Structure 1
Amino acid sequence: MVEEETDGAADPMPPPQLRRRLGRADLRAVPEARRALRELLRHWGRSGASDVAELLTSELVTNALLHTDDDAILTAVVSPRALRVEVRDFMARRPRPRCPDADQDTNGRGLVLVDSLADAWGVCPHGVGKSVWFELRAEAA
């Protein structure tokens, strides 16, 4: 057993976070995820960061709900330096950004938006499934 020494001060508060299970193919979860994220981010980040975070979260949540056959889990963690949003699903297939034809419908643009607007993003494989994540820095652009 490892014991941690403390100086008697209270443990620091954990970073504000959001965690939601999203039901399979339940697209009503998309606006709910946006509202919950907006509330989490009321006092965070650079001007306009909340709007970008909501848009990118909508894209990841929608992709997970439309392109997988199971629930998904949304996690957002706010730190003084950045916001990190992850959407975990239970399908091993990795998403790929596509460059849709401009004359076609608006489908297939989600990861292109994530790639262009996030400060960083990626895919983390899990034993079952994967997480697609993005980060936005808190400092002014």
Structure 2
Amino acid sequence: MLKDQRKFDELGQKLFMKGVLQDFEQKHGPIKGRMMVTEGKIPPEMLTKLQPELVKNPNWIVVEGSFDFSNYMIGMVIGLNPVQSLANGWLIPQLNHSGVKLSQNWQELFMEKVMDKIDDNGHIDLPIYSWISDKSGLTLTDKEDK
């Protein structure tokens, strides 16, 4: 379940009206899934374990990924100077009945898309929107959709 379905749909509609999504599907195949990356929070049960790493790296951000085909939210802490993952990520069910967990491939895709969007100064524009086919992905931020 996408964290902000309405916002994702609004951007998708703009891209559809411009022909961007149709062009993507023509070149890369049908869209099989959508992912949204937003700023997040460290789960309370992980905070104590992560605290030493967070103290050593005071410039960090927490990001969460949500998917239109899964009720799991994936998250990770990223150090921004230097840019690096500060800990293993986590999966959290969004609903009481969470369904099937995200595969390792989806978790790796999430990390790849996040790391690709961090610039050399350690800045990342959120949210990140991804439309994913079997061959490729179209990934944008609010600032890139114009």
**TM-score, reference length from structure 2:** 0.31
Structure 1 or 2: more helix by fraction: 2
**TM-score, reference length from structure 1:** 0.31
Look at both structures and tell me which one has the larger radius of gyration over its CA atoms.
1
